[in-house]
């Protein structure tokens, strides 16, 4: 029988799921990060799929390879929202319904994230865990919309959706609040509010970050936005049409650092756009006294185009930039390779030599 509980029962047992009494080992130090007592610039990657692996050996293999490659930060999905219980064995974390939502703490639920957290703890890898997706992959805000009405734009102010979101946040945050593996809680993956006042996301982020802080005072918190909304240029990513004001959001008390994503192709700008995008955000972070993390970047598996972005970020290590995480990590299991979206960097590949091995050496050489 699946261990599926109502929200109330799930919250009651969540804090008992993992061993307690460990303090956080990642923090900010001015505009830099400190991990396990070392302050500086850190390299890392993204793996959305690791949270949904059903074989612990595959989880351990992935974390072994990430750790041995010298990467310190891994961003993983902390959400999988559905509107109907899957019957195909799919991993899901939360069932959303106006008649009663459920948080799944069973073997096909948060126990899969437990395995990632435990493996990361054992290997000294630090996790960024977003709590909802703007996009429809793994449910996203539209899964809440399907249950509680409205639109993605009204999700931020939809009382019923936000009440359930807070219940889910509490379940996940309290479950891992004592884990040394948590680098930061992330409010959302790439939150946008198209056509909205930037006050909508600002006010939501202020409220939710304060709520997370009340649940877990040890770990860092970040927004997870792409970095839209800067006064330095007139191109689309610098504008405010997506309801995001990077500088204003940096001022939120309970957000510890800023995040930047970078996909020139998707944004209709040339790949040479990258270094200035990084420089302008670094300046904003330095002015705010908080670190900036280049949290996602990718360009069709091309090292020649991405290497200058890594170098531009690292060159600003004392001027606001504190790390970078390429999108995305790839593994080959006995069952086959993980998803290749065109930006995947597979372990031990020629591309990994350039974007991982060589980059880690440059980072370590900068100390």
Write out the catalytic residue numbers.
190, 296
Is the distance from CB of 54 to CB of 111 less than 8 angstroms? Answer: no
Sign of CA dihedral 229, 233, 235, 237: negative
Is the distance from CB of 258 to CB of 277 less than 8 angstroms? Answer: no
Give the position of tokens 């904003």. 284
Chain centroid to Cα 93, Å, comes to 16
Q: What is the largest CA-CA distance in the chain?
A: 56
Question: How far is residue 33's CA from residue 56's CA, in Å, rounded to a whole number?
Answer: 30
Question: How far is residue 272's CA from residue 265's CA, in Å, rounded to a whole number?
Answer: 11
Question: How far is residue 108's CA from residue 270's CA, in Å, rounded to a whole number?
Answer: 42
Is the distance from CB of 78 to CB of 131 less than 8 angstroms? Answer: yes
Q: 152, 114, 112: which is closest to 132 by C-alpha?
A: 152
Cα angle vertex 128, ends 307, 10, to 5°?
A: 155
Neighbours of 23 (CB within 10 A): 9
Neighbours of 209 (CB within 10 A): 21
Q: 243, 279, 242: which is closest to 260 by C-alpha?
A: 279
Who's near 366: CB < 8 A, 6+ residues apart? 40, 41, 314, 317
Nearest 10 degrees: Cα torsion 47, 80, 265, 317: -50
Q: 63, 6, 72: which is closest to 36 by C-alpha?
A: 72
Cα angle vertex 288, ends 282, 292, to 5°?
A: 35
Is the distance from CB of 360 to CB of 43 less than 8 angstroms? Answer: yes
């Amino acid at each position: 029988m699946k261990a599926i509980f109502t929200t109330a029962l799930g919250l009651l047992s969540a804090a008992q799921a993992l061993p307690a009494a460990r303090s956080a080992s990642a923090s900010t130090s001015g505009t830099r990060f400190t991990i396990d007592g070392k302050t500086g610039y850190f390299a890392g990657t993204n793996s959305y799929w690791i949270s949904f692996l059903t074989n612990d050996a595959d989880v351990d293999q992935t974390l072994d390879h990430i750790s041995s490659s010298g990467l310190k930060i891994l961003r993983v999905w902390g959400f999988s929202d559905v509107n109907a219980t899957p019957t195909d064995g799919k991993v899901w974390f939360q069932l959303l319904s106006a008649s009663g939502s459920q948080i799944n703490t069973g073997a096909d639920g948060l126990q899969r994230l437990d395995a990632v957290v435990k493996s990361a703890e054992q290997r000294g890898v630090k996790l960024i865990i977003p709590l909802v997706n703007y996009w429809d992959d793994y449910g996203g805000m539209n899964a809440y919309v399907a249950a509680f009405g409205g639109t993605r734009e009204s999700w931020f102010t939809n009382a019923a959706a936000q009440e359930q979101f807070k219940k889910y946040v509490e379940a996940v945050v309290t479950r891992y609040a004592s884990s040394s593996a948590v680098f930061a809680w992330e409010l959302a993956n790439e939150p946008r509010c198209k056509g909205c006042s930037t006050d909508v996301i600002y006010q939501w982020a202020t409220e939710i970050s304060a709520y997370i802080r009340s649940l877990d005072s040890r770990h860092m918190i970040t927004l997870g936005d792409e970095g839209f909304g800067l006064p330095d240029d007139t191109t689309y990513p610098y504008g405010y049409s997506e309801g995001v004001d990077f500088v204003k959001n940096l001022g939120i008390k309970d957000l510890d650092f800023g995040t930047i994503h970078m996909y020139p192709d998707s944004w209709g700008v040339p790949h040479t756009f990258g270094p200035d995008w990084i420089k302008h955000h670094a300046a904003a972070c330095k002015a705010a006294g908080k670190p900036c993390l280049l949290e996602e970047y990718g360009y069709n598996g091309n090292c020649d185009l991405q290497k200058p972005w890594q170098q531009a970020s690292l060159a600003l290590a004392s001027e606001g930039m504190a790390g970078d995480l390429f999108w995305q990590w790839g593994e080959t299991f006995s069952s086959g390779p993980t998803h290749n979206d065109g930006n995947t960097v597979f372990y031990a590949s020629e591309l990994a030599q350039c974007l991982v091995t060589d980059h880690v050496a440059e980072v370590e050489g900068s100390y």
